[in-house]
Amino acid sequence: MSVVVAVTGVSTLLGENLLEILESRAFPVARLLLTDPGEVKGRSVMFSGHATRVVSAETADFSDVELVFNCQPDALPEQFAATQLDSGVCVIDLCPDVEVAQTALCVVPEVNSELIRTGVHNGYYVSPAPAVVAAAAVLATLHERFKLLRLNLTSLSSVAEAGKKGVEALASETAKLLNGRDAEASFFGQQIAFNLLPLTGKVTESGATDTETQIITQLRRVLNDEQLEIAVSSLQLPLFYGQNVVLHAECQFPVDLNEAQSLLRQVPGVSCIADQICSAVANAAGKDEVFVSRLRTEPDNDCGIMLFAVTDSMRKGGALNAIQIAEQVFTQLDH
């Protein structure tokens, strides 16, 4: 079954990675519509050996589109909004606004693809935040076996999650500092090079940021446990790529580390690093797995488990997860 596919925000980091993975996985594209917001000056993108013209999202003809990947905030055409979606069109939103993210169906295929199979949707899916994708892929099997009661999650985000401007800001500031010049804070409001910022997103009245609140909401939804107590801190690191999460969970039942390792090794897309070898963020760059290391129990409490997980935020943390959702949707339609 070939599919007419639209990618909005194709010039973003997510959009570029999405096209690369669509091609490498031989997704059955019948026709490709590539859009960017605002004025587009005759740019073309190569896909499967052919040049495809990028058009303005405001003037693009979406009439026969069957699948939309949204890769840029505020770039999704109004007719594809979650509340106005026509039947027969599948939208996978990688950049939902805050209100949509609170209620939409969040999917990590390794965890809750049954929601696709059972049709609990209106054709609109959210590919959740990279921290949620990484954490959910690891935690789901542990939750099923040991029953998580409380989770402390620290998200360590790279600048790629802020888009090309974030990457450019880190590169520019780093170059200036290494050449003995002052690095004026620009995109992040404070210097990011050789620094660490204690938040990502906007601070809300509660003191948490909207990013932290979104992670809690999406992770509960993916794990299908609204009662799970979750505390999140989201930090901005001076890394170009990669999503890191530090997880500390309190479980109802004692955790056997050998069993936990065995369970994680059976999860598709998760690579559990044995012994004391740690998986650094550089090891995950360009890869499609979630890498788990530093798996251990809490001192003096065998119901507490701690671990470190890392993934490429543009691939499994973003574009690949969205494409896996689409593959599940259209495989389901074929049967």
Cβ-based neighbour number of residue 289 at 10 Å: 21
3-127+318-334 with 132-313: one CATH topology?
A: no
pLDDT value of position 101: 63
Collapse the DSSP code of 273 into the 3-class scheme (helix H, G, I; strand E, B; otherwise coil) and give the result.
coil
Tens digits of residue pLDDT in 262-272: 999 999 999 99
pLDDT value of position 121: 64
Query: What is the Cα–Cα distance from 201 to 303, expressed in whole angstroms?
Result: 33
pLDDT value of position 243: 96
pLDDT value of position 185: 84
Question: In one letter, which amino acid is 261?
Answer: Q
Report domain extents, the chain. Answer: 3-127+318-334, 132-313
pTM score of the predicted model: 0.93
Sequence-ordered list of residues with C-beta below 8 angstroms from that of 316, at least 6 positions apart, any chain = 133, 134, 137, 269, 287, 288, 289, 290
Collapse the DSSP code of 314 into the 3-class scheme (helix H, G, I; strand E, B; otherwise coil) and give the result.
coil
Collapse the DSSP code of 142 into the 3-class scheme (helix H, G, I; strand E, B; otherwise coil) and give the result.
helix
Residue 103's nearest CA partner among 282, 253, 226 is 226
pLDDT value of position 186: 82
pLDDT value of position 117: 79
Sequence-ordered list of residues with C-beta below 8 angstroms from that of 265, at least 6 positions apart, any chain = 272
Q: In CATH, what is the architecture of 132-313?
A: 2-Layer Sandwich (3.30)
Query: What is the Cα–Cα distance from 212 to 52, expressed in whole angstroms?
Result: 38
Decide: residue 19, CB within 10 A, 0-12 exposed, 13-18 middle, 19+ buried.
Answer: buried
Q: Are 56 and 35 in contact (CB under 8 A)?
A: yes
Each of the 335 residues of the chain gets a pLDDT tens digit; together they read 789 999 999 999 999 999 999 999 999 999 999 999 887 777 899 999 899 999 988 888 888 899 999 998 876 777 676 655 666 788 999 998 766 666 678 999 999 988 887 765 678 899 999 999 999 999 999 999 999 999 999 999 999 999 999 999 999 999 999 999 998 888 999 999 999 999 999 999 999 999 999 999 999 999 999 999 999 999 999 999 999 999 999 999 999 999 999 999 999 999 998 766 677 788 888 999 999 999 999 999 999 999 999 999 999 999 999 999 999 998 766 65
Q: Hey, which residues does 45 pair with through a beta bridge?
A: 52
CATH of 3-127+318-334, one of 3.30.70.260, 3.10.20.30, 3.40.50.720, 3.40.190.10: 3.40.50.720
pLDDT value of position 313: 95
